[in-house]
Amino acid sequence: MGSVVSLFSAQKETITAVDHVNFDIGQGELVGYLGPNGAGKSTTIKMLTGILVPTSGRVLVDGIDPEKDRRAVARKIGVVFGQKTQLWWDLPVEESFDLLRAVYRIPGAEYKKRLNFFIELLDMKDFLSQQARKLSLGQRMRADLAASLLHRPPILFLDEPTIGLDILTRDIVRKFIKEINEQEKVTILLTTHDIQDIEYLARRLILLDRGRVHYDGGIDDFIQRYAAEKVLSLQVDPPLQSSFFTQRGFEVLSESSDRNFEIRLGADETPAALIEALSASKIRIDEINMRKRDLGDTLKLMYTNQRNVEL
């Protein structure tokens, strides 16, 4: 019944997916573009590639407006979406590559040299003759990376390139991305939820939340800014409610059970006051560890909205 009613009086809500986002990326930069699901990352990439047209503002990719000349932009960019493929589903991988050679009009000698380079770097020789639909996720991702760079584009957009990959394949993909960036000076915009991708690859972060940029700067500056804060891990007995800590002015970052908690301490705080409060309530501490807050901790807080993270 609700479906029938919605045909005649559907309730609509307009959401601004990307709100006054403004950034420049220089030649040869590798930038991590981060944010929780629904933040606007994929929408941004789709506008940069010409798939979507912005309702306002201006997008330029290597000086070209994707809305006005999508074909010219297509020759300048490579794109890899982690959950989609640009390979022909029923064709062997090598035939998909050959079709892309024809589409981009890559000279034969250059194509052969380029393909051999990718086969060795991405370890693809064992599945070149397989149909794309028969590839494992890791094999498909490696083939998609090669396909996106066959025509030697100066710009590469990567949307979740390591999602679902095993440890070994993730390592191959990360090393490949880093080598392409450093050797060929390919400009790369990388979206990912894997913190290790960012720590290994990126020197600059752009953090997006609810369509707005909350931070744009160096990854080292970001880490240093939050390294002063500490995370105190506690295992207590008997069990407690998290309200025990909050009522005494301590911030609970997470609780895996009613005996295991992570507490945030400021730069100038020590665990002494917390230990004293537990002791006064006859709560025994079975285990206690303290560490500095890292990139993953900060992003987790931002994504889960546990508190207002000023960036």
Q: Are 157 and 49 in contact (CB under 8 A)?
A: yes
What pairs with residue 105 in β-bridges? Answer: none
Residues 82-90, mean pLDDT to the nearest whole number: 85
Residues 265-283, mean pLDDT to the nearest whole number: 85
Residues 228-245, mean pLDDT to the nearest whole number: 85
- Whether residue 310 is predicted with pLDDT greater than 80 in this model: the reply is no
Q: Nearest 10 degrees: CA dihedral of 35, 293, 194, 177?
A: 100
Q: Are 74 and 64 in contact (CB under 8 A)?
A: no
- Whether residue 297 is predicted with pLDDT greater than 80 in this model: the reply is no
Q: Tokens at residue 278, please? A: 């537990």
- Whether residue 301 is predicted with pLDDT greater than 70 in this model: the reply is no
CA 33 vs CA 37, 201, 208, 219: distances in Å: 12, 12, 7, 11
What is the residue type of 117?
Answer: F
Residues 125-151, mean pLDDT to the nearest whole number: 93
187-191/155-159 β-pairing: parallel
As a whole number of angstroms, the distance between CA 105 and CA 166 comes to: 34
Q: Please give the DSSP secondary-structure letter assigned to residue 242.
A: T
List the chain domain ranges. 13-224, 228-304
- Whether residue 300 is predicted with pLDDT greater than 70 in this model: the reply is no
Helix ranges (H only) for the chain are: 2-9, 41-48, 70-76, 93-103, 108-122, 137-149, 167-184, 195-201, 219-227, 243-246, 272-280, 295-304
284-292/77-81 β-pairing: unpaired
As a whole number of angstroms, the distance between CA 96 and CA 147 comes to: 8
Least confident of 21-25, 58-62, 82-86: 82-86
As a whole number of angstroms, the distance between CA 205 and CA 258 comes to: 35
- Please tell me the predicted confidence (pLDDT) of residue 228: 61
Residues 168-199 have pLDDT tens digits of 889 999 999 999 999 999 999 999 888 888 88
Q: Between 91 and 8, whose confidence is greater?
A: 91
- Please tell me the predicted confidence (pLDDT) of residue 307: 42
Q: CATH topology for 13-224?
A: Rossmann fold (3.40.50)
Same fold, 13-224 and 228-304: no
Q: Tokens at residue 19, please? A: 């709100």
As a whole number of angstroms, the distance between CA 99 and CA 29 comes to: 30
Question: For domain 228-304, which architecture applies?
Answer: 2-Layer Sandwich (3.30)
Q: Between 39 and 119, whose confidence is greater?
A: 119
How many CB atoms are located within 10 Å of the residue 105 CB? 9
pLDDT-derived band at 163 (thresholds 50, 70, 90) equals confident
Residues 268-278, mean pLDDT to the nearest whole number: 86
- Whether residue 311 is predicted with pLDDT greater than 50 in this model: the reply is no
- Please tell me the predicted confidence (pLDDT) of residue 294: 64
As a whole number of angstroms, the distance between CA 78 and CA 155 comes to: 6
- Please tell me the predicted confidence (pLDDT) of residue 208: 87
